[in-house]
Amino acid sequence: MVKSFNNNKGVALLTVMLIMGAVMIIMNIIIYAVTQEKLAANRYNDSKEAFYVAEAAADYASAKWNYYITQVVREGNPELPAPDVLNGINNHYFSVLNSSKGELLDALKRDLGTSDIKIEYSYDNSNTLYNVHSEPENTPRILVINIEAEYNGIIYPYKIFLDYCNHGKATSRKGNITN
């Protein structure tokens, strides 16, 4: 005896389950792609913020530099060392910069609404800032400050070049400048 399979009651259920399975797979792929795109956008925004933190740190160092040179050279502040004794890693400006960066960090944390911000200044001791007695008066002395700005775990390296001539002109160049 041969049975006939003319009963189509289960085909609709099977078709709906296959379509639901395919839709669920497609939805999972879309959710994964959107999640990855969101993470990439957050990393990009964090790296942009790290750059802005580095810019702020460089601007702060430049402002401190101009104020410092004004105090030392132009106004002859007796509490600060003379320009010809500011050589080396322990120079007074660098210690002033490092000791006062807390006010910059506090302002950035308040403005950006996060406490995950760090700024590190380091001195590039391959350059001599002052050699007053052996060079002409208009020869610039360069102090290179390396900056590592961190925002939400993203570190952005930066440099600022602080120039000084004996006649009192102080300038600064910032960024990832090679020379």
Mean confidence (pLDDT) of the chain: 78
Among left, alpha and beta (phi > 0; psi -120 to 50; other), residue 81 is beta
For residues 73-83, average pLDDT: 55
Residue 134 Cα to chain centre, angstroms = 37
Distance, in Å, from the CA atom of 47 to the CA atom of 154, rounded to the nearest integer, reads 6
Calculate mean pLDDT across residues 21-28. Answer: 97
Residue 132 backbone dihedrals phi, psi, to 5 degrees = -60, -35
Give percent above pLDDT 70 in the chain: 70
- The confidence score (pLDDT) of residue 51 equals 92
Q: Phi/psi class of residue 40: alpha, beta or left (left: φ > 0; alpha: ψ in -120 to 50)?
A: alpha
List pLDDT tens digits, range 116-132: 888 888 876 555 554 44
| Confidence grade of residue 48 (pLDDT, cut at 50, 70, 90) | very high
pLDDT for residue 98: 82
Domain boundaries, the chain: 14-175
The reply to whether the predicted model has a pTM over 0.85 is: no
User: Between these two residues, 176 and 142, which has the higher pLDDT value?
Assistant: 142
Per-residue pLDDT reduced to its tens digit, 129-167:
544 445 555 555 677 888 889 998 899 998 888 877 666
Predicted confidence (pLDDT) per residue in 80-107, tens digit: 555 544 444 346 777 788 888 888 889 8
